[in-house]
Amino acid sequence: MQPPEDITARRLNARFGAAPAEAALAVALDRYEGRIALVSSFGAEAAVLLHMLSRIDPSVPVLLLDTRLLFPETLAYQQELSAHLGLRQVRRITPDERADPDRSLHRRDSTACCALRKVAPLQAALKGFDAVITGRKRFQTGQRAAMARFEHDGMRLKINPLADWTAQQIAAYFETYALPRHPLVAQGFPLIGCAPCTSRVADGEESRAGRWRGEARQECGIHFGPDGKVERAG
Ligand code: SF4
Protein backbone atom coordinates (compact mmCIF):
# COMPACT_ATOMS: atom_id res chain seq x y z
CA MET A 1 0.00 0.00 0.00
CA GLN A 2 3.03 2.30 0.17
CA PRO A 3 2.58 4.99 -2.51
CA PRO A 4 5.04 4.67 -5.37
CA GLU A 5 8.17 6.75 -5.02
CA ASP A 6 7.20 9.21 -7.76
CA ILE A 7 4.01 10.30 -5.99
CA THR A 8 5.22 10.94 -2.50
CA ALA A 9 3.85 13.81 -0.46
CA ARG A 10 7.13 15.67 -0.85
CA ARG A 11 7.03 15.59 -4.61
CA LEU A 12 3.36 16.44 -4.77
CA ASN A 13 3.89 19.41 -2.46
CA ALA A 14 6.72 20.64 -4.65
CA ARG A 15 4.55 20.47 -7.75
CA PHE A 16 1.07 21.21 -6.47
CA GLY A 17 1.53 22.67 -3.00
CA ALA A 18 0.70 26.18 -4.21
CA ALA A 19 -1.69 25.24 -7.00
CA PRO A 20 -5.39 26.10 -6.75
CA ALA A 21 -7.25 23.77 -4.42
CA GLU A 22 -9.29 22.31 -7.28
CA ALA A 23 -6.11 21.45 -9.19
CA ALA A 24 -4.54 19.69 -6.21
CA LEU A 25 -7.76 17.77 -5.66
CA ALA A 26 -7.96 16.77 -9.32
CA VAL A 27 -4.39 15.50 -9.33
CA ALA A 28 -5.01 13.34 -6.29
CA LEU A 29 -8.26 11.96 -7.69
CA ASP A 30 -6.57 11.12 -10.95
CA ARG A 31 -3.55 9.42 -9.43
CA TYR A 32 -5.50 7.46 -6.85
CA GLU A 33 -8.58 6.64 -8.89
CA GLY A 34 -10.55 3.87 -7.19
CA ARG A 35 -8.31 4.02 -4.10
CA ILE A 36 -9.27 7.39 -2.66
CA ALA A 37 -12.04 8.62 -0.35
CA LEU A 38 -13.05 11.94 1.14
CA VAL A 39 -13.80 12.19 4.86
CA SER A 40 -16.38 14.84 5.65
CA SER A 41 -18.10 15.95 8.85
CA PHE A 42 -20.91 17.59 6.88
CA GLY A 43 -20.28 20.45 9.26
CA ALA A 44 -20.27 24.21 8.83
CA GLU A 45 -17.63 24.44 6.09
CA ALA A 46 -17.89 20.99 4.51
CA ALA A 47 -19.88 22.09 1.48
CA VAL A 48 -16.87 23.81 -0.10
CA LEU A 49 -14.73 20.71 -0.53
CA LEU A 50 -17.73 18.54 -1.34
CA HIS A 51 -18.74 20.97 -4.06
CA MET A 52 -15.25 20.81 -5.57
CA LEU A 53 -15.38 17.02 -5.48
CA SER A 54 -18.81 16.93 -7.10
CA ARG A 55 -17.56 19.02 -10.01
CA ILE A 56 -14.68 16.64 -10.68
CA ASP A 57 -16.07 13.22 -9.79
CA PRO A 58 -19.29 12.86 -7.73
CA SER A 59 -18.85 9.08 -7.58
CA VAL A 60 -15.83 9.22 -5.26
CA PRO A 61 -16.72 7.69 -1.86
CA VAL A 62 -17.51 10.25 0.84
CA LEU A 63 -17.27 8.97 4.41
CA LEU A 64 -19.29 10.56 7.21
CA LEU A 65 -18.38 9.44 10.72
CA ASP A 66 -21.82 9.03 12.21
CA THR A 67 -20.84 8.70 15.87
CA ARG A 68 -24.51 8.26 16.83
CA LEU A 69 -24.08 11.48 18.77
CA LEU A 70 -24.32 13.93 15.90
CA PHE A 71 -26.94 16.63 15.82
CA PRO A 72 -30.06 15.54 13.91
CA GLU A 73 -29.55 18.72 11.88
CA THR A 74 -26.24 17.33 10.63
CA LEU A 75 -27.85 14.14 9.38
CA ALA A 76 -30.57 16.13 7.66
CA TYR A 77 -27.97 18.46 6.13
CA GLN A 78 -26.02 15.45 4.86
CA GLN A 79 -29.10 14.32 2.95
CA GLU A 80 -29.85 17.78 1.61
CA LEU A 81 -26.30 18.60 0.59
CA SER A 82 -25.63 15.21 -0.96
CA ALA A 83 -28.74 15.55 -3.10
CA HIS A 84 -27.91 19.15 -4.00
CA LEU A 85 -24.41 18.21 -5.14
CA GLY A 86 -25.32 14.88 -6.72
CA LEU A 87 -22.89 12.92 -4.58
CA ARG A 88 -23.32 9.27 -5.44
CA GLN A 89 -21.45 7.41 -2.73
CA VAL A 90 -21.93 8.91 0.71
CA ARG A 91 -21.28 6.27 3.33
CA ARG A 92 -22.26 6.69 6.97
CA ILE A 93 -19.65 5.04 9.15
CA THR A 94 -21.02 3.95 12.53
CA PRO A 95 -19.26 2.71 15.69
CA ASP A 96 -19.56 -0.56 17.56
CA GLU A 97 -21.43 0.73 20.61
CA ARG A 98 -21.13 -2.37 22.79
CA ALA A 99 -18.46 -0.66 24.93
CA ASP A 100 -20.67 2.39 25.50
CA PRO A 101 -24.27 1.23 25.19
CA ASP A 102 -25.74 4.17 27.09
CA ARG A 103 -23.60 6.69 25.20
CA SER A 104 -22.21 8.24 28.37
CA LEU A 105 -18.48 7.64 27.84
CA HIS A 106 -17.95 11.17 26.55
CA ARG A 107 -18.73 12.49 30.05
CA ARG A 108 -16.05 10.36 31.71
CA ASP A 109 -13.34 10.18 29.05
CA SER A 110 -13.79 12.11 25.85
CA THR A 111 -10.54 10.80 24.37
CA ALA A 112 -11.71 7.22 24.81
CA CYS A 113 -15.09 8.18 23.38
CA CYS A 114 -13.47 9.64 20.26
CA ALA A 115 -11.32 6.52 19.96
CA LEU A 116 -14.41 4.33 20.08
CA ARG A 117 -16.74 6.42 17.96
CA LYS A 118 -14.35 8.03 15.48
CA VAL A 119 -10.85 6.60 15.32
CA ALA A 120 -11.65 2.88 15.25
CA PRO A 121 -14.56 3.12 12.77
CA LEU A 122 -12.59 5.37 10.45
CA GLN A 123 -9.56 3.13 10.46
CA ALA A 124 -11.78 0.20 9.53
CA ALA A 125 -13.59 2.19 6.84
CA LEU A 126 -10.36 3.35 5.23
CA LYS A 127 -9.04 -0.16 4.70
CA GLY A 128 -8.59 -0.55 0.98
CA PHE A 129 -8.03 3.16 0.38
CA ASP A 130 -4.52 4.40 -0.29
CA ALA A 131 -5.38 8.08 -0.08
CA VAL A 132 -7.79 10.19 1.91
CA ILE A 133 -8.98 13.77 1.36
CA THR A 134 -9.77 16.07 4.28
CA GLY A 135 -11.11 19.59 4.63
CA ARG A 136 -8.61 20.67 7.28
CA LYS A 137 -7.21 24.19 7.15
CA ARG A 138 -4.16 25.76 8.73
CA PHE A 139 -6.06 28.56 10.40
CA GLN A 140 -8.22 26.17 12.43
CA THR A 141 -5.76 25.19 15.17
CA GLY A 142 -2.16 25.81 16.18
CA GLN A 143 -1.50 22.12 15.57
CA ARG A 144 -2.47 22.60 11.92
CA ALA A 145 -0.57 25.84 11.33
CA ALA A 146 2.25 24.15 9.42
CA MET A 147 0.11 21.50 7.75
CA ALA A 148 1.18 20.62 4.22
CA ARG A 149 -1.27 20.10 1.42
CA PHE A 150 -0.05 16.55 0.90
CA GLU A 151 1.18 14.50 3.83
CA HIS A 152 1.68 10.90 4.79
CA ASP A 153 -0.65 9.45 7.41
CA GLY A 154 0.87 6.11 8.21
CA MET A 155 0.86 4.14 4.96
CA ARG A 156 -1.76 6.40 3.43
CA LEU A 157 -1.44 9.69 1.58
CA LYS A 158 -3.53 12.48 3.03
CA ILE A 159 -4.60 15.39 0.83
CA ASN A 160 -5.69 18.68 2.37
CA PRO A 161 -6.75 20.78 -0.66
CA LEU A 162 -7.94 23.67 1.51
CA ALA A 163 -4.88 23.73 3.78
CA ASP A 164 -3.97 27.31 2.88
CA TRP A 165 -7.53 28.68 2.67
CA THR A 166 -8.75 31.42 4.98
CA ALA A 167 -12.13 31.82 6.62
CA GLN A 168 -12.81 34.66 4.18
CA GLN A 169 -12.17 32.42 1.18
CA ILE A 170 -14.52 29.81 2.58
CA ALA A 171 -17.25 32.41 3.04
CA ALA A 172 -16.72 33.77 -0.46
CA TYR A 173 -16.93 30.30 -1.99
CA PHE A 174 -20.28 29.71 -0.27
CA GLU A 175 -21.54 32.96 -1.75
CA THR A 176 -20.21 32.35 -5.25
CA TYR A 177 -21.86 28.96 -5.59
CA ALA A 178 -24.89 29.66 -3.38
CA LEU A 179 -24.16 26.56 -1.35
CA PRO A 180 -26.67 25.53 1.31
CA ARG A 181 -25.58 26.22 4.87
CA HIS A 182 -25.68 23.84 7.81
CA PRO A 183 -28.79 24.96 9.73
CA LEU A 184 -26.89 25.34 13.02
CA VAL A 185 -24.54 28.00 11.64
CA ALA A 186 -27.30 30.57 11.89
CA GLN A 187 -27.84 29.52 15.51
CA GLY A 188 -24.31 30.40 16.63
CA PHE A 189 -22.36 27.23 15.85
CA PRO A 190 -19.38 28.06 13.61
CA LEU A 191 -18.00 24.52 14.02
CA ILE A 192 -20.23 21.50 14.37
CA GLY A 193 -19.27 18.08 15.68
CA CYS A 194 -21.00 15.72 18.09
CA ALA A 195 -23.86 17.29 20.05
CA PRO A 196 -22.41 16.64 23.54
CA CYS A 197 -19.08 18.23 22.63
CA THR A 198 -20.24 21.23 20.63
CA SER A 199 -21.59 24.44 22.10
CA ARG A 200 -22.56 27.85 20.86
CA VAL A 201 -19.81 30.42 20.45
CA ALA A 202 -20.31 33.88 21.87
CA ASP A 203 -19.41 37.11 20.08
CA GLY A 204 -15.67 37.66 20.34
CA GLU A 205 -14.81 34.02 20.99
CA GLU A 206 -12.70 32.00 18.58
CA SER A 207 -14.74 29.65 16.43
CA ARG A 208 -13.02 26.61 17.93
CA ALA A 209 -14.04 27.60 21.47
CA GLY A 210 -17.27 25.68 21.02
CA ARG A 211 -15.55 22.29 20.63
CA TRP A 212 -14.79 20.31 23.80
CA ARG A 213 -15.45 23.42 25.87
CA GLY A 214 -13.51 23.29 29.13
CA GLU A 215 -11.02 20.72 27.85
CA ALA A 216 -7.50 21.37 26.59
CA ARG A 217 -8.00 19.59 23.31
CA GLN A 218 -8.81 20.62 19.77
CA GLU A 219 -8.61 17.35 17.87
CA CYS A 220 -10.49 14.08 18.02
CA GLY A 221 -7.54 11.84 17.20
CA ILE A 222 -8.46 10.86 13.64
CA HIS A 223 -5.62 12.93 12.20
CA PHE A 224 -1.90 12.46 12.54
CA GLY A 225 0.76 15.12 12.34
CA PRO A 226 3.82 15.02 10.12
CA ASP A 227 5.73 13.32 12.93
CA GLY A 228 3.20 10.50 12.94
CA LYS A 229 1.74 11.49 16.31
CA VAL A 230 -1.99 11.87 16.83
CA GLU A 231 -3.13 15.50 16.71
CA ARG A 232 -4.73 16.23 20.04
CA ALA A 233 -3.06 19.18 21.64
CA GLY A 234 -4.76 22.47 22.23
S1 SF4 B 1 -16.62 14.46 19.88
FE2 SF4 B 1 -17.48 13.97 21.94
S3 SF4 B 1 -19.28 12.68 21.63
FE4 SF4 B 1 -18.11 12.75 19.69
S5 SF4 B 1 -16.86 10.94 19.73
FE6 SF4 B 1 -15.60 12.60 20.59
S7 SF4 B 1 -15.96 12.63 22.83
FE8 SF4 B 1 -17.53 11.29 21.84
- CA torsion 208-209-211-215 (nearest 10°) is 130
For the domain that residue 91 is a member of, what is the CATH number? 3.40.50.620
CA of 189 to the centre of ligand 1 (A): 16
Q: Give the pLDDT confidence score for residue 211 in this predicted structure.
A: 67
Ligand 1 close to Cβ of residue 170 (< 6 A):
no
Judge contact between 51 and 195, C-beta under 8 A: no
pLDDT digits (tens, 9 = 90+) for 104-157: 999 999 999 999 999 999 999 999 999 999 999 998 777 777 899 999 888 899
* In a domain? residue 89: yes
**Ligand 1 mutation pick, 94, 103, 111, 113, max ligand atoms within 8 A of CB:** 113
* In a domain? residue 139: yes
Q: From atom 6 of ligand 1, which residue's Cα is the shortest distance away?
A: 114
Q: Give the pLDDT confidence score for residue 183 in this predicted structure.
A: 97
Instruction: Please report which helix (H) or strand (E) contains residue 62, including its range.
Output: strand 62-65
Can you tell me which atom of ligand 1 is nearest the CA of 110? 7
- Number of structural domains found in the chain: 1
* Least reliable range by pLDDT among 4-18, 44-58, 63-77: 4-18
Phi, psi of 90 (to 5 degrees): -90, 125
Q: Is the dihedral of CA 196, 82, 115, 120 positive or negative?
A: positive
Alpha carbon of 222 to those of 37, 39, 158, 167, 195: distances in Å? 15, 10, 12, 22, 18
* In a domain? residue 175: yes
* In a domain? residue 216: no
Q: Is the dihedral of CA 17, 22, 26, 29 positive or negative?
A: positive
* In a domain? residue 197: no
Structural domain for 93, as ranges:
5-183
* In a domain? residue 61: yes
Angle between helices 21-31 and 9-16 (to 10 degrees): 140
Ligand 1 close to Cβ of residue 67 (< 6 A):
yes
pLDDT digits (tens, 9 = 90+) for 15-27: 999 999 999 999 9
* In a domain? residue 86: yes
Q: If you average pLDDT over every residue of the chain, what do you get?
A: 88
* In a domain? residue 127: yes
pLDDT digits (tens, 9 = 90+) for 146-198: 899 999 888 899 999 999 999 999 999 999 999 999 999 999 898 899 999 99
Which of these, 204, 179, 182, lies nearest to 193 by C-alpha position?
182
CA of 102 to the centre of ligand 1 (A): 14
Ligand 1 close to Cβ of residue 119 (< 6 A):
no
pLDDT digits (tens, 9 = 90+) for 203-230: 777 766 666 666 666 666 666 544 444 4
